């Protein structure tokens, strides 16, 4: 095995019975890590749900929609998930005293849209989780934190961040 350093390929030399095979694997330098700067002091709204509620929502909503709209409010509809797909608009409302709702902290009404194609990879963690924390900051930046309990009973967390897709005017609501 040979690696000459930055920008050079990793080379593997395999020799068997006098025959040498050389395998070159191109390397890549990682891009600079994105700092989402999602600070808990900037959180405007936070909801903690049993994961089964969010799994059911994703199964019921129209996933032909390009966006998932999330509304969090101190007043009705409290917590609403909406899609706008081929079958029309679909809305799922969760009252703040729902059995699926573990915590509900909403300081202001906020409605944001997120591309479903960007949220879909997070559903793998959702499938394994038992609880999910959904937080937004003042800019509508979304934090999904999945609590996963492994076979040993240990608890770990998977965090997923997503920027809002577009600004929504009052006329669109």
Residue in 154, 164, 104, 107 with CA at minimum distance from that of residue 134: 104
Q: What pLDDT, on the 0 to 100 scale, is given for residue 75? A: 93
Q: What pLDDT, on the 0 to 100 scale, is given for residue 49? A: 94
In the chain, where are the structural domains located? 43-162
Instruction: Domain 43-162: give its CATH code.
Output: 3.70.10.10
Buried-exposed string 107-126: b where 16+ CB fall within 10 A, e elsewhere: eeebbbbbbbebbeebeebb
Q: Is 132 helix (H, G, I), strand (E, B) or coil?
A: strand
Residue 76 confidence (pLDDT) above 70: yes
What is the average pLDDT value for the chain, to the nearest integer? 88
Give the mean model confidence (pLDDT) for residues 49-72. Answer: 90
**Cβ contacts of 81 within 8 Å, gap of 6 or more:** 57, 61, 68, 69, 70, 91, 92
| pLDDT tens digits, one per residue of 131-144 | 999 999 988 999 99
Q: Which of 3-17, 21-35, 67-81, 124-138 has the lowest mean pLDDT?
A: 21-35
More confident: 159 or 62:
159
More confident: 153 or 35:
153
Residue 168 confidence (pLDDT) above 90: no
């Amino acid at each position: 095995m040979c690696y000459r350093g930055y920008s050079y390929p990793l080379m593997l030399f395999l020799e068997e019975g006098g025959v040498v095979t050389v395998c070159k694997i191109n390397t890549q330098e990682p891009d600079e890590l994105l700092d989402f700067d999602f600070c808990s002091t900037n959180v405007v709204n936070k909801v903690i749900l049993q994961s089964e509620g969010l799994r059911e929502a994703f199964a019921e909503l129209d996933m032909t929609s390009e966006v998932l709209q999330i509304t969090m409010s101190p007043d009705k509809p409290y917590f609403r998930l909406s899609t706008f797909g081929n079958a029309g608009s679909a809305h799922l409302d969760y009252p703040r005293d729902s059995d699926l709702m573990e915590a509900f902290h909403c300081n202001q009404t906020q409605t944001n849209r997120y591309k479903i194609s960007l949220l879909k990879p997070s559903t793998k963690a959702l499938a394994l989780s038992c609880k999910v924390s959904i937080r937004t900051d003042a800019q509508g930046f979304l934090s999904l934190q999945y609590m996963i309990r492994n076979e040993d009973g240990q608890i770990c967390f998977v965090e997923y961040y997503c920027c809002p897709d577009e600004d929504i005017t009052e006329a669109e609501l």
